[in-house]
């Protein structure tokens, strides 16, 4: 089937600019099951106002 993927080939994990309390975590393509645990951890850290375990700058909406 179709695998959602951003044009740069990396997932998008980011608060949506201009909104409150909406975090996008998508575009993992065929790596969804493998990246799911770390994506969940990053989203939890964003929600809690903590610094994510890895930099999300490369996968952030701008």
Per-residue pLDDT of the chain (62 residues; tens, 9 = 90+): 788 888 888 888 988 889 988 999 999 988 889 999 999 999 999 999 999 988 888 777 77
Model confidence pTM above 0.95: no
pLDDT in the model for residue 32: 87
pLDDT in the model for residue 7: 83
Question: 61 and 24 in contact (C-beta within 8 Å)?
Answer: yes
pLDDT in the model for residue 55: 86
Neighbouring-strand partners of residue 12: 26
Question: 13 and 61 in contact (C-beta within 8 Å)?
Answer: no
The alpha helices in 1-62, defined as continuous H runs, are 32-47
């Amino acid at each position: 089937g179709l695998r959602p993927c951003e044009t740069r080939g990396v997932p998008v994990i980011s608060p949506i600019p201009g909104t409150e309390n909406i975090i996008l975590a998508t575009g993992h393509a065929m790596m969804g099951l493998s990246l799911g645990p770390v994506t969940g951890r990053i989203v939890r850290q964003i929600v809690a106002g903590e610094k994510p375990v890895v930099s999300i700058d490369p996968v952030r909406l701008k």
